[in-house]
Amino acid sequence: MILLDGKATAAAIRKELGEKVGILKSTTGKVPGLAVILAGEDPASAVYVRNKERACAEAGIVSKGYKLPASTTQEELEGLIRKLNEDDSVHGILLQLPVPQGLDSDRCLDLIDPDKDVDGFHPVSVGRLTLGLPGFRSCTPAGVMTLLDRYGLDVSGKKAVVIGRSNIVGKPLALMLLQRNATVTVCHSRTANLAEEVRSADFVFAAVGRPLFVTRDMVKDGAVVVDVGINRTDAGLVGDCDFKALESKVAAMTPVPGGVGPMTIAQLLINTVRSFEMKQGL
C-alpha cells in the first residue's frame, strides 16, 4: 500500500512556496499577506489558527491575526472585513468558523471580496467551481486533489464515491472530481445501500465525521482511500476509515492524522500566493 503522506507533501509545498515567495519579493518588493479572523474562544479554532499562522511564516506569507472577543457584534465583524477588503497588503481573508452564537457567518462570508476569498466559501467562488471557471477552491477538497496529483493518481474515467455532502467538503470535492472526469457518486445519511456504492468505487473519499465508518468489507481490493474525517475519541484522533483493517486491502490511503489535515493548510497557502500573483498581474 502507498501511504498518501499529507504531512510530508504539505512540508514540501511550504518549502516550494517559500522559495517562490522569495523570488516574488525580490521582483515586486512585496509579499503575500493573509488576514486571519478568529472571533470567540473556541479552543479547537485557536489551534487551527495557530497552525495556519505557523505555516504562513514557513512559506514567507505575512499572516495578520485579528482576535476578537466572543462579545463582538455583527457590525464590528463586518466593519473589519470591509477594512481588510480595502487593505492592499492583504491578499487573502480567512474567517475561522464557527463564529460565536448570534453572529451571522453567511453574511460575513458574503462580504469578503471574492478576489481575496482564499477559503473558497464565497457564493461567487462556489459558482465559479460549479461552472468550471477559474477561482478560489475550498481548501480541504482542493488539498485532496493536490495530494492525488502529487502521487500521480488520476481519477479520470474512474468511479469515485464521496461519502458526505457538506458545503465545505463533500459537495465541492464531488464537483472537483467531476471536473477531472471521474464518474462521481455522492453518498449521505439517506443513501440506500451505501456499503454497496462504496464497494464499487476505485476512489473512496470519506467525509462523514464518524470514527471507523468505512470498514474493510465496504472497500474493494486495490481502491484508493482518502480519509477526510477528523474525530476526537478516547483513543486519540481517528479518521472515518478503519485504517488498520483497510491497510492490507487498498492500493493507497491517507493516514489520520498526517493526511488531509496538513494538505488543507498547504492549499490555503497555495491560494494566498496565487491571490498575490493575480493582484500583481502575474
Please enumerate, by residue number, every residue annotated as part of a binding site: 164-166, 230
Nearer to ligand NDP, 52 or 122 (CB): 52
Q: Which of 112, 176, 260, 269 binds ligand NDP (CB under 6 A)?
A: 260
Question: How far is the C-alpha of 264 from the C-alpha of 147, rounded, in Å?
Answer: 10
Here the cell at position 215 is 470498514
Residue 233 touching ligand NDP (CB under 6 A):
no
Comparing C-alpha atoms, which of 59, 61, 71, 66 is closest to residue 82? Answer: 66
d(CA 201, CA 220): 7
Q: Is 280 a catalytic residue?
A: no
Footprint (CB under 6 A) of ligand NDP, residues 236-255:
none
Site string for ligand NDP, 173-212 (x = CB under 6 A): --------------xxxxx--x------------xxxx--
User: Which of 166, 179, 183, 200 contacts ligand NDP by CB under 6 A?
Assistant: 166
Residue 33 as a binder of ligand NDP (CB under 6 A): the answer is no
DSSP strand pairing (224-227 vs 203-206): parallel
Task: Check 119, 227, 240, 242 and give the catalytic one.
Answer: 119
38 binds ligand NDP (CB under 6 A): no
Q: What φ, ψ does residue 136 adopt, rounded to 5°?
A: -80, 135
Short-list 200, 205, 199, CA closest to 177: 205
How far is 111 from 250, CA to CA, in rounded Å? 43
Binding site listing for NADP(+): 164-166, 230
Distance CA 36, CA 10 (A): 20
Among 63, 138, 264, 272, interactor with ligand NDP by CB under 6 A: 264
* Residues within the interface to ligand NDP (CB under 6 A): 140, 163-166, 168-170, 187-191, 194, 207-210, 228-231, 260-261, 264
